Protein backbone atom coordinates (compact mmCIF):
# COMPACT_ATOMS: atom_id res chain seq x y z
CA UNK A 1 0.00 0.00 0.00
CA UNK A 2 2.90 2.35 0.62
CA UNK A 3 3.85 2.27 -3.06
CA UNK A 4 0.25 3.11 -4.01
CA UNK A 5 0.18 6.10 -1.66
CA UNK A 6 3.53 7.30 -2.99
CA UNK A 7 2.15 7.01 -6.51
CA UNK A 8 -0.91 9.08 -5.60
CA UNK A 9 1.28 11.86 -4.28
CA UNK A 10 3.53 11.74 -7.33
CA UNK A 11 0.52 11.90 -9.62
CA UNK A 12 -0.91 14.95 -7.84
CA UNK A 13 2.36 16.86 -7.72
CA UNK A 14 3.74 15.91 -11.14
CA UNK A 15 1.40 14.30 -13.68
CA UNK A 16 -1.68 16.27 -12.66
CA UNK A 17 0.19 19.56 -12.76
CA UNK A 18 1.51 18.73 -16.22
CA UNK A 19 -2.01 18.11 -17.55
CA UNK A 20 -3.96 20.41 -15.24
CA UNK A 21 -5.78 22.21 -18.04
CA UNK A 22 -6.86 18.91 -19.56
CA UNK A 23 -8.32 17.67 -16.27
CA UNK A 24 -10.19 20.95 -15.83
CA UNK A 25 -11.76 20.53 -19.29
CA UNK A 26 -12.79 16.97 -18.40
CA UNK A 27 -14.43 17.81 -15.09
CA UNK A 28 -18.01 17.88 -16.42
CA UNK A 29 -18.00 15.41 -19.32
CA UNK A 30 -16.06 12.80 -21.24
CA UNK A 31 -15.89 12.32 -24.99
CA UNK A 32 -13.69 9.27 -25.61
CA UNK A 33 -13.16 8.33 -29.23
CA UNK A 34 -12.49 4.64 -28.55
CA UNK A 35 -13.87 1.77 -26.47
CA UNK A 36 -10.91 -0.37 -25.43
CA UNK A 37 -11.81 -3.90 -24.31
CA UNK A 38 -8.83 -5.58 -22.65
CA UNK A 39 -7.87 -8.38 -20.30
CA UNK A 40 -7.71 -7.59 -16.58
CA UNK A 41 -4.09 -8.80 -16.52
CA UNK A 42 -1.97 -6.36 -14.50
CA UNK A 43 0.74 -6.39 -17.18
CA UNK A 44 -1.61 -4.87 -19.76
CA UNK A 45 -1.97 -1.10 -19.40
CA UNK A 46 -4.16 0.29 -22.24
CA UNK A 47 -3.28 3.94 -21.71
CA UNK A 48 0.44 3.14 -21.64
CA UNK A 49 0.35 0.91 -24.72
CA UNK A 50 -1.62 3.43 -26.78
CA UNK A 51 -0.05 6.54 -25.25
CA UNK A 52 -3.55 7.88 -24.62
CA UNK A 53 -4.35 10.84 -22.42
CA UNK A 54 -7.22 10.95 -19.89
CA UNK A 55 -10.56 11.24 -21.66
CA UNK A 56 -9.47 9.55 -24.89
CA UNK A 57 -10.34 5.88 -24.32
CA UNK A 58 -13.19 4.22 -22.43
CA UNK A 59 -11.71 1.04 -20.95
CA UNK A 60 -13.51 -2.22 -20.17
CA UNK A 61 -11.49 -5.05 -18.64
CA UNK A 62 -12.29 -8.62 -17.71
CA UNK A 63 -10.63 -12.04 -17.66
CA UNK A 64 -9.40 -12.93 -21.18
CA UNK A 65 -11.07 -9.89 -22.81
CA UNK A 66 -14.26 -11.86 -23.39
CA UNK A 67 -17.45 -10.35 -24.81
CA UNK A 68 -20.67 -12.26 -24.04
CA UNK A 69 -22.93 -12.72 -27.03
CA UNK A 70 -25.87 -10.36 -27.02
CA UNK A 71 -28.55 -13.01 -26.38
CA UNK A 72 -26.53 -14.58 -23.56
CA UNK A 73 -26.43 -11.37 -21.56
CA UNK A 74 -30.20 -11.15 -21.72
CA UNK A 75 -30.58 -14.61 -20.22
CA UNK A 76 -27.97 -14.34 -17.46
CA UNK A 77 -27.54 -11.06 -15.61
CA UNK A 78 -24.42 -12.34 -13.84
CA UNK A 79 -22.42 -11.65 -17.00
CA UNK A 80 -23.97 -8.34 -18.00
CA UNK A 81 -21.39 -5.86 -16.66
CA UNK A 82 -19.29 -5.96 -19.83
CA UNK A 83 -22.39 -5.65 -21.97
CA UNK A 84 -23.57 -2.63 -19.98
CA UNK A 85 -20.25 -0.88 -20.52
CA UNK A 86 -20.31 -1.64 -24.25
CA UNK A 87 -23.87 -0.36 -24.51
CA UNK A 88 -22.98 2.85 -22.69
CA UNK A 89 -19.86 3.49 -24.76
CA UNK A 90 -21.61 2.98 -28.09
CA UNK A 91 -25.08 4.42 -27.44
CA UNK A 92 -24.30 7.20 -24.96
CA UNK A 93 -20.68 8.17 -25.47
CA UNK A 94 -20.90 7.53 -29.21
CA UNK A 95 -17.40 6.13 -29.59
CA UNK A 96 -16.10 5.81 -33.14
CA UNK A 97 -13.86 2.78 -32.63
CA UNK A 98 -13.84 -0.43 -30.60
CA UNK A 99 -10.56 -2.20 -29.92
CA UNK A 100 -10.46 -5.75 -28.55
CA UNK A 101 -6.99 -6.30 -27.11
CA UNK A 102 -5.64 -9.72 -26.20
CA UNK A 103 -2.10 -10.42 -25.09
CA UNK A 104 0.68 -12.97 -24.78
CA UNK A 105 0.88 -15.38 -21.82
CA UNK A 106 -2.80 -14.82 -21.01
CA UNK A 107 -3.75 -16.78 -17.92
CA UNK A 108 -7.44 -16.58 -18.78
CA UNK A 109 -6.94 -18.16 -22.19
CA UNK A 110 -4.71 -20.85 -20.68
CA UNK A 111 -7.34 -21.63 -18.07
CA UNK A 112 -9.91 -22.81 -20.59
CA UNK A 113 -7.81 -26.00 -20.87
CA UNK A 114 -7.76 -26.68 -17.13
CA UNK A 115 -9.68 -29.71 -15.82
CA UNK A 116 -13.01 -29.15 -14.09
CA UNK A 117 -11.50 -30.27 -10.80
CA UNK A 118 -9.31 -27.16 -10.80
CA UNK A 119 -11.93 -24.73 -12.05
CA UNK A 120 -14.53 -25.99 -9.58
CA UNK A 121 -12.64 -24.06 -6.91
CA UNK A 122 -13.29 -20.81 -8.78
CA UNK A 123 -16.90 -21.27 -9.98
CA UNK A 124 -17.46 -17.71 -11.18
CA UNK A 125 -14.30 -17.82 -13.28
CA UNK A 126 -15.32 -21.23 -14.60
CA UNK A 127 -18.70 -19.92 -15.72
CA UNK A 128 -17.09 -16.89 -17.35
CA UNK A 129 -14.60 -19.02 -19.28
CA UNK A 130 -17.42 -21.13 -20.68
CA UNK A 131 -18.02 -18.18 -23.00
CA UNK A 132 -14.71 -19.06 -24.70
CA UNK A 133 -15.50 -22.75 -25.16
CA UNK A 134 -15.85 -22.28 -28.91
CA UNK A 135 -12.29 -20.90 -29.04
CA UNK A 136 -10.98 -24.03 -27.33
CA UNK A 137 -12.83 -26.25 -29.79
CA UNK A 138 -11.46 -24.40 -32.83
CA UNK A 139 -7.90 -24.46 -31.54
CA UNK A 140 -7.97 -28.18 -30.79
CA UNK A 141 -9.33 -28.88 -34.27
CA UNK A 142 -6.46 -26.96 -35.86
CA UNK A 143 -3.60 -28.28 -33.75
CA UNK A 144 -1.84 -31.55 -34.44
CA UNK A 145 -0.92 -33.99 -31.69
CA UNK A 146 2.75 -33.01 -31.84
CA UNK A 147 2.18 -29.27 -31.74
CA UNK A 148 3.98 -27.50 -28.91
CA UNK A 149 2.22 -25.93 -25.97
CA UNK A 150 3.57 -22.50 -26.96
CA UNK A 151 1.81 -22.69 -30.33
CA UNK A 152 -1.45 -23.58 -28.60
CA UNK A 153 -0.98 -20.59 -26.32
CA UNK A 154 -0.61 -17.88 -28.95
CA UNK A 155 -3.13 -19.53 -31.27
CA UNK A 156 -5.72 -19.51 -28.47
CA UNK A 157 -4.99 -15.90 -27.57
CA UNK A 158 -5.31 -14.71 -31.14
CA UNK A 159 -8.31 -16.85 -32.03
CA UNK A 160 -9.99 -15.55 -28.92
CA UNK A 161 -9.69 -11.98 -30.19
CA UNK A 162 -11.27 -12.92 -33.51
CA UNK A 163 -14.04 -14.82 -31.72
CA UNK A 164 -14.84 -11.81 -29.54
CA UNK A 165 -15.15 -9.63 -32.64
CA UNK A 166 -17.82 -12.08 -33.81
CA UNK A 167 -19.53 -11.85 -30.43
CA UNK A 168 -19.46 -8.06 -30.64
CA UNK A 169 -21.28 -8.24 -33.96
CA UNK A 170 -24.25 -9.98 -32.33
CA UNK A 171 -25.25 -6.63 -30.78
CA UNK A 172 -27.89 -5.01 -33.03
CA UNK A 173 -26.90 -1.44 -32.17
CA UNK A 174 -23.27 -2.23 -33.02
CA UNK A 175 -24.11 -3.99 -36.29
CA UNK A 176 -26.15 -0.99 -37.40
CA UNK A 177 -23.32 1.48 -36.82
CA UNK A 178 -20.71 -0.90 -38.19
CA UNK A 179 -22.63 -1.45 -41.44
CA UNK A 180 -23.14 2.30 -41.80
CA UNK A 181 -19.38 2.81 -41.35
CA UNK A 182 -20.01 4.86 -38.22
CA UNK A 183 -18.05 2.43 -36.06
CA UNK A 184 -14.69 0.73 -36.57
CA UNK A 185 -13.82 -2.60 -34.91
CA UNK A 186 -10.18 -3.56 -34.45
CA UNK A 187 -8.57 -6.74 -33.10
CA UNK A 188 -5.23 -6.16 -31.35
CA UNK A 189 -2.65 -8.59 -29.96
CA UNK A 190 -0.04 -7.26 -27.53
CA UNK A 191 3.20 -9.15 -26.84
CA UNK A 192 4.31 -8.30 -23.31
CA UNK A 193 7.97 -9.24 -23.55
CA UNK A 194 8.68 -7.36 -26.80
CA UNK A 195 6.23 -4.47 -26.68
CA UNK A 196 5.05 -5.38 -30.17
CA UNK A 197 1.40 -4.93 -31.14
CA UNK A 198 -0.24 -6.88 -33.96
CA UNK A 199 -3.44 -5.81 -35.71
CA UNK A 200 -5.91 -8.32 -37.14
CA UNK A 201 -6.33 -8.09 -40.90
CA UNK A 202 -9.80 -9.48 -41.52
CA UNK A 203 -9.26 -9.69 -45.29
CA UNK A 204 -6.08 -11.76 -44.94
CA UNK A 205 -7.22 -13.63 -41.84
CA UNK A 206 -4.13 -13.06 -39.70
CA UNK A 207 -2.43 -10.54 -37.42
CA UNK A 208 0.13 -8.07 -38.80
CA UNK A 209 2.73 -6.09 -36.90
CA UNK A 210 1.68 -2.48 -36.36
CA UNK A 211 4.31 -0.14 -37.76
| Catalytic annotation, pick one of 101, 103, 109, 152 | 103
Q: Residue 201 contacts by C-beta under 8 Å, 6 or more apart in sequence?
A: 207, 208
Q: How many helices (H) and strands (E) does the chain have?
A: 12, 6
Residues 30/32/38/44 CA torsion (nearest 10 deg): -80
Active site (annotated) includes residue 39: yes
Q: 31-209 architecture in CATH? A: 3-Layer(aba) Sandwich (3.40)
Active site (annotated) includes residue 24: no
Q: Residue 73's pLDDT band (boundaries 50, 70, 90)?
A: very low
Active site (annotated) includes residue 167: no
Does the pTM of the predicted model rise above 0.75? yes
pLDDT per position as a tens digit, 17-58: 898 999 999 999 999 999 999 999 999 999 999 999 999 999
CA-CA-CA-CA torsion sign (193, 98, 51, 25): negative
pLDDT value, residue 132: 94
Domain boundaries along the sequence of the chain: 1-28, 31-209
| Catalytic annotation, pick one of 12, 43, 76, 147 | 43
Active site (annotated) includes residue 41: yes
The answer to whether residue 167 scores a pLDDT higher than 50 is yes
| Catalytic annotation, pick one of 41, 109, 152, 167 | 41
Active site (annotated) includes residue 101: no
Choose between 138 and 76: higher pLDDT.
138
Choose between 118 and 146: higher pLDDT.
118
Amino acid sequence: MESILAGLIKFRTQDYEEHKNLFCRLKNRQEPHTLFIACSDSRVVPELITKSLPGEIFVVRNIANIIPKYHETQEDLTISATTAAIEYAVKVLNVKSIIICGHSNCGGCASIYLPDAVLDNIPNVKKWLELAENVKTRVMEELKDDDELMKREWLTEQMNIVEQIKHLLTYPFIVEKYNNKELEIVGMYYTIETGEVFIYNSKKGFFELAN
